[in-house]
Amino acid sequence: MATGHHNDFLQFDVAIVGSGLGGMTVALHLARTKKVLLIAKRELLGGASDWAQGGIAAVLDSGDSVESHLQDTLVAGAGLCDEGATRFIIENSTDAIQWLIDMGVPFSPDPSAQRGFHLTREGGHSHRRIIHAADATGHAVQVTLEQAVRAHPNIELMEHHIAIDLITSDRIGIDGPARCVGLYAQDINSGRVLTIAAAHTVLATGGAGKVYLYTTNPDTATGDGIAMAWRAGCRVANMEFIQFHPTCLYHPYAKSFLISEAVRGEGGLLKLPAQAGADAGQRFMPAQHERAELAPRDIVARAIDFEMKTRGLDHVDLDISHQSPEFLQTHFPNILARCLEFGIDIRTQPIPVVPAAHYTCGGVVTDMHGRTDLPGLYAVGETAYTGLHGANRLASNSLLECLVLGRAAAEHVASQPAFVPPALPLWDESRVTNADEEVVIAHNWDELRRSMWNYVGIVRTTRRLLRARSRIQLLQAEIDEYYRRFRITRDLVELRNLVQVAALIVECALARHESRGLHDTRDYPATLPAALPTVLTPAGR
């Protein structure tokens, strides 16, 4: 199918929403045989993949094994990982890394290692299996793939465009089973809304960290793909499991700068700060878990949250100053330089850190081909729920999932018979006007994120969750009315998606009557004997 352009209508074989590692992986694998559109909300490197510091977990050493990586993942997932999906992803990890190496990703070398690359270890891993590019792995990977994407003649790029909603055959009056036939997207700069027809659509929009007041995620992480898929009739699962990264730089001007898991993997120690008085400088993780600082993230985040709340602390300290300056410069050049910008010299001082919303373990239900419940629609990466992460994501498994499922989705799309989308209705703005009070969006955005932080945070109660549900329902009503009356803007589209995702998180959390992994509730402190995912189905499906 040739690419078609007619005013505000475009047509492609495949439309991919999101330009992180999942989206670019799908695009590059498909572009050999398909005409591909890649939509980015900002520039191509504006997503969370570019921010990833630590690395990618894979079986790359003879002392390691698929079984060992599998068991570490299952343990971190607190019994909720889908073992078949997890095994599939890990079994394909070596090939996934080799593809990146072949693409030219400059991973940190180690001439003494079997494959010639340095492997580090992170919390929850029993072996050194994290291949990385110093402490800016995501950026190294994304820059390499960006160059390939920009150079490929079969990939058309749409930067600074935001997807609004999916187009399904049943909702435009076409008989037969529902199918995704494209989407609407807005040019953020001009405000023009495009109608995009596609035989196959792939959601790779990342997570929903911006639903919380404090997050390590970029501003683009507003749950767009999850919300769009839910509105289109797809099931969503395990949204109660929001991973809070234990160590986000605490500084008023740092704007959520992540301190990599690898800092603790290379010997960083969590200590009480000067604010703790006589206990200043004491470690607290050895009393919490046998792995101390290398415990899984949920345990570390809860321990920090506990110390901060019981002692009235603003932050705790992460100290790696016992390592040599040369070691820190080699392994953590980005973190060293960034902290220095804020007057913190990690060679001689501890790093002030706090937990922050980091990763959405749940998402749109998919199979091992990335297929959702809606034919023609796929989801990959943080947007999707494959069963890999269970109740808690093991460090550095997320980029691996993007690579393996991105390739699997591309292969499935490529194997499908040709499909020509029907004529699609253009976006209709005839009954709306320009917004009269933008302050409504800003106020609702702030209220939503504060409500989620206060009521649906690291430790939860049923009363807090019900309070959050009540507030979210009122906000949804206000936002839906605003959406119907006024012309859309990026802020309005994102707020509409965020409030939908917030509602899904709360409903999943209320449905789980136990504490497991990242879901810790005081009303149900025990863990049930049977581990079952929380699956939500849209009304009418």
Could you list the active site residues? Answer: 297
Q: Contact, 304 vs 316, CB < 8 A?
A: yes
Q: Rounded to an integer, what distance in angstroms lies between the CA atom of residue 77 and that of residue 428?
A: 45
SS3 labels along 322-375: CCCHHHHHHHCHHHHHHHHHCCCCCCCCCEEEEEEEEEECCEEECCCCCECCCC
Instruction: Output phi, psi for 37, to 5 deg.
Output: -105, 130
Residue 297 tokens, joined: 């993230």
Tell me the C-alpha distance between 398 and 414, whole Å.
Answer: 24
* Residue 53 and residue 137 in contact, taking contact as beta carbons nearer than 8 Å: yes
Burial zone of 275 (CB within 10 Å; 0-12 exposed, 13-18 middle, 19+ buried) = middle
Exposure string for 399-433, b = 16+ CB within 10 A, e = fewer: bbbbbbbbbbbbebbeeeeeeebeebeebeeeeee
- Under DSSP, the state recorded for 393 is P
Rounded-to-integer distance, Cα 206 and Cα 40, Å:
11
Asked if 506 and 453 count as a contact pair (C-beta separation under 8 A), the reply is: no
| Cα 328 to Cα 362: distance, rounded to the nearest angstrom | 34
- Contact by Cβ (8 Å): 179, 375: yes
Percent helix / strand / coil, the chain, rounded to 5: 40, 20, 45
Q: Contact, 163 vs 185, CB < 8 A?
A: yes
- Return the closest-CA partner of residue 104 out of 148, 152, 60: 148
Q: What angle do CA 32, 38, 44 make, to 5 degrees?
A: 115
